[in-house]
Every structure is written in C-alpha cells, then in structure tokens.
Chain A
Amino acid sequence: DGGITQSPKYLFRKEGQNVTLSCEQNLNHDAMYWYRQDPGQGLRLIYYSQIVNDFQKGDIAEGYSVSREKKESFPLTVTSAQKNPTAFYLCASSIVGLAGWEQFFGPGTRLTVL
C-alpha cells in the first residue's frame, strides 16, 4: 500500500522539551512538506524539501527544524523555542513537475504541550 504515515497520532510533551514528529512516504515522491493547522485556520507551511539533503523554510519556520537524509523520510522537530506548539501537524508529499501539483497528506499528529 502506497501512502504517507505519520506517527504517533497523538503526542503529549511537557513545556520546554523538544519533540520529533515522524513522516514517512513510500510514494517515491521527491517533495515533502510540513504544515500546521490551528482551529479556524488554514494549513500553514512550516518547512518543505524538494530533494534529499535540501530543505527550505516556509511561512512559519521559527521554532522548528527538519532534516531530509532519505527520500522517504522528513522528520520535524518542534523545539522549545516554538511559543505555541500545541497544534495538529500534517505532512505531505508530491511529485515535482508541471503535470500537477497535488499534494498527498498523511493522517496527521496532534501535539499537545502541557
């Protein structure tokens, strides 16, 4: 089954702790993305990566870090510098090319910082 997996589904952390969210895809997509969704808000782009070992900041990158050591994996670390980390985090991937820009999303991780 091809798709995107995010783990865990729910995550609880104490304030001041760093936490890493997992995202894996077996769609052979080059590009991967991290979004954050807050109540009543759209999806806001945190980081994206078009190719292995390269990534770019999105609109709200402060307090987050990523790595892209493998094509299949794009983990997101929420650091203690992120002021409002409690949110629903979504990972997505896409084929890069003019045929279409559809992004395919994982099921999301709900992070709650206590």
Chain B
Amino acid sequence: DQQVKQNSPSLSVQEGRISILNCDYTNSMFDYFLWYKKYPAEGPTFLISISSIKDKNEDGRFTVFLNKSAKHLSLHIVPSQPGDSAVYFCAASERKGSQGNLIFGKGTKLSVKP
C-alpha cells in the first residue's frame, strides 16, 4: 500500500510557464516532506522541504505548498526552464519516533519545452 503517491507519471510544460507537481500521502503521522530532482543515471538531489508546522516554503523559483487537511503537497516551479526537465520525487517522513527513513513516491517526469 503506497503511503506517498504521485498520480501523474509525466507532465509537459512550456518554458517560462508554471510547473505544478502534486503529491498525496496517507499517513497522518508524516511531519516532514521533501522534493528531490533526478536526472537519468544520476542520484537524486535535494530540492526543497517543508515541515508540517508550515503551509508554504519558498526557495527561488521553487515553492512547496502543504495542505495537511487534504494530505496533499505540491511543488511549483516558476518560471520553468528546460534544465528543470527531470524526474521529481516527493518523499515524506515521520521524524518523531522514527529513524529518519524517507518514503518516496514513484516520481513525476517533467518535460519543459523551449
């Protein structure tokens, strides 16, 4: 049973427009959420995170929104650039009482067209 779900396997966006990647989770004990970016044949790189005490975190062109009541988070990329084309993984953890293990979604492949 998937605890972290990314229901869109792929997303195509025009350069300069907004990219919105979505993630849903089922475990209400999750209190920390992360987004990773991954290019083919490389390891994922950490992008941005958010604690459950916040509903928004922004870092440059990247903003993550958290809706705890809906158990939903989203990553907004504005403006999208061709170099953003990659697979994006959403991950969640239960920091209190856990050992720092991350639960990953299956990823969304973002293609940004020039």
Contacts and interface: CB of A to CB of B under 8 A. Distances in A.
Chain A residues touching B, range? 20 to 34
B82 to A, nearest CB: 22
Considering residues B4, B9, B89, B100, which has the most beta carbons from chain A within 10 angstroms of its beta carbon? B100
A108 B95 contact: no
Interface in B25-61: 32, 34, 36, 41-46, 49
B contact face: mostly helix, strand, loop, or mixed:
loop
Nearest to A43: B104
Interface string B84-114: 0000010001011001111011110000000
A107 interface: yes
A56 interface: yes
A60 B37 CA distance: 23
Interface of B: 4, 9, 32, 34, 36, 41-46, 49, 89, 93, 95-96, 99-102, 104-107
Interface of A: 4, 6, 31, 33, 35, 40-45, 48, 50, 56, 58, 88, 90, 92, 94, 96, 98, 100-108, 110
